[in-house]
Structure 1
Amino acid sequence: MTRIVTSFADISAEYDVAYVDLWGCVHNGLTALPQAVASLQAYRAQGGVVVLVTNSPRPWDSVAQQIAGMGVPSEAWDAIATSGDSARAAMFRGVVGEKVWFMGESPRDDDFFKPLSVIDDPVDIQKVPLEQAEGIVCCGPFDPLADPAVNRPQFLYAKQRGLKLLCANPDIVVDRGETREWCAGALAALYTDMGGESLYFGKPHPPIYDLARRRLTALGTAPSDPRIIAIGDGIHTDIAGAMGEDIDSLFITGGLAATETRTTDQPDTKALSAYLEKEMMNPTFAIGQLR
């Protein structure tokens, strides 16, 4: 039974480490959420470790730069694990070939192709037209406001050629301020529905949690057998991922599911129960906003 709490501080002493989602929890795509930042700073002040676990298709250092510009200070986190880094490692190992058709927004997503020093003998990745490609690398749609179905002709051609699609961000949608945008996960889901093969590296899939554990280990001061809680607003990413990893979770209901859970300051109890039953998910805790 999911327990509604009034603040993260109500439960934070039970955990050594928090895996914290960014978009919808710590920022809204445009600016930091002050209460969330203060909550993470307070958690770290009492000895907690914060690993930002995000489905951003960017390298972790690019994400650090991005969130600093939004007003998220470095004092609010200890390490960052991104879907982008996990997916980049797979790309440079050649999981979709050397010649790839790239889907994304340039120059915003160009950092995805930065060299990755942790890979021994990386393949020489070349961006080529679809007709010459051995695989697809998808950081997101060309136009985040366009219906993913506009890609059906290209996907039909790619599927017939047996191309695999590497999805660098499994999120379906995000809310940038008040505007809902499509993400790479929507394209990967469409490709899979059409009979193509999509490869995922972010939440809720295991590779990003493996990366989060490596980031945690690299801190040196992290507990050897930590008590971990995952915090996020994505029921099919953050919460499903936590359940898959068998760790506790704090569901932020005022993000993507604000309408379904009738969240103003806090979720409506009956609406939350109905939503969780419908989605067949069972977060440990729930709260309107991270605070």
Structure 2
Amino acid sequence: MKALEGLREIAGRYDAVLSDVWGVVHNGIAAHPSAVEALVEFRKGGGRVVLITNAPRPSPPLIEMLDRLGVPRDAYDAMVSSGDATRAMLEPYRGKTIHYVGPPEENDSLFEGLDITLGSAEAAHAVVVTDLDHDDDTPDLYNDRITLWLSRNLPLIAANPDRVVEHGDRLIYCGGALADLYEARGGMILMAGKPYKPIYSEALRLAEAAAGHKLDRSRILAIGDSVRTDAIGAAGAGLDLLFITGSIHAAELDAFGTPDPAAINALVGPSGANLAGFMPRLAW
């Protein structure tokens, strides 16, 4: 495991890339130009790219968001999101009421066509969390609501397993942080995004569809910035990992200063991921 100047140093070892999106390709406000270039160049060399994200919405509106952020469609072949995987988990709740937590303007595509009614926790069969209601919220603000959910034994479906995400120059809490608190207090949680198998199975299927043939796992590279989701997910799927240090772990790893490879290995090592290298920002 070593510091890399660019993906080009190891690109020849891989036929496909499964790349995280938020924190790797963009920061929630704008695309990272060097990351876009890396993915475009990898595809020019014959590699396939599938974007794999814990964003809690289905892929079509996320692709439109990437368009607005300046991520061209020739940077990737396909995308799979936690929202896509979560919709499959919501199928058993057709015709029922669920309680929704998250920004109200972002839930339409997640529930569209599922015949699910959004209602109060008192009437719900489950709680679905995309993110916290407001960017400035912290999980502890939800303790009173959690007490009610626990009293009704409601399962919590976290459409976004991420704990935190980079947004411009700050970090904000995500649905996974609330799921952690719910589980710590004895609640049942369900998640289908990274690091869980359903989203990786679909990503691998899309990569093979783009390639037109079966792919050897040893020739597929996962790229991500989170130990909890990307590193553990890559290990579980049997994929090498290129770790991006300059996002949610930037401060602790001195990503843009003089990063210590031993510290990075100590952080990522317990995940079991096979590190192909690291860099502060994805670049070619």
Aligned partner of residue 153 in structure 1, secondary structure: helix
Counterpart residue number, 1:75 = 74
Instruction: Tell me if structure 2 keeps the 8 A contact 1:22–1:53.
Output: yes
Deviation at 1:29, TM superposition (A): 0.8
Cα distance in 2 for partners of 1:192, 1:7 equals: 39
Aligned partner of residue 93 in structure 1, secondary structure: helix
* Root-mean-square deviation (Å): 1.8
| Change in CA separation of 1:92 and 1:218 when aligned onto 2, cut-off 3 Å | farther
Instruction: Tell me if structure 1 keeps the 8 A contact 2:240–2:273.
Output: no
Cα distance in 2 for partners of 1:142, 1:242 equals: 30
Instruction: Tell me if structure 1 keeps the 8 A contact 2:80–2:199.
Output: yes
Cα distance in 2 for partners of 1:261, 1:81 equals: 29
Aligned AA (2:261)? T
| Change in CA separation of 1:223 and 1:113 when aligned onto 2, cut-off 3 Å | same
Cα distance in 2 for partners of 1:46, 1:273 equals: 30
Counterpart residue number, 2:96 = 98
Q: Which among 120, 138, 142 is matched to residue 133 of structure 2?
A: 142
* Percent of residue pairs identical: 36
Aligned AA (1:199)? L
> Deviation per CA, 1:192-222, whole angstroms, max 9, x where unpaired?
0010000011111111112212323443x33
> Deviation per CA, 1:27-83, whole angstroms, max 9, x where unpaired?
011000001100100000000000000000011011100011000000100000100
Task: Please tell me whether residue 225 in structure 1 is matched to residue 215 in structure 2.
Answer: yes
Deviation at 1:278, TM superposition (A): 7.3
Counterpart residue number, 2:12 = 13
Cα distance in 1 for partners of 2:37, 2:276 equals: 22
Aligned AA (2:119)? V
The correspondence of residues 145-160 of structure 1 with structure 2, limited to 5 A, is: 145-160=136-151
> Deviation per CA, 1:7-44, whole angstroms, max 9, x where unpaired?
10100111111000011111011000001100100000
Deviation at 1:126, TM superposition (A): 0.9
Aligned partner of residue 91 in structure 1, secondary structure: helix
Q: Which among 254, 273, 277 is matched to residue 285 of structure 1?
A: 277
Structure with greater helix share of residues: 2
* Residue-pair matches, total: 281
Instruction: Tell me if structure 2 keeps the 8 A contact 1:265–1:289.
Output: no
TM-score (norm: length of structure 1): 0.91
Cα distance in 2 for partners of 1:236, 1:98 equals: 32
Q: Which among 196, 203, 214 is matched to residue 187 of structure 2?
A: 196
Task: Extract unaligned runs of 5+ from structure 2.
Answer: none
Counterpart residue number, 1:162 = 153
Counterpart residue number, 2:235 = 243
Deviation at 1:275, TM superposition (A): 3.2
The correspondence of residues 239-278 of structure 1 with structure 2, limited to 5 A, is: 239-264=231-256, 267-276=259-268
Task: Extract unaligned runs of 5+ from structure 1.
Answer: 116-121
Cα distance in 1 for partners of 2:212, 2:12 equals: 15
Cα distance in 1 for partners of 2:34, 2:179 equals: 34
> Deviation per CA, 1:168-207, whole angstroms, max 9, x where unpaired?
0100001100121110000111110010000011111111
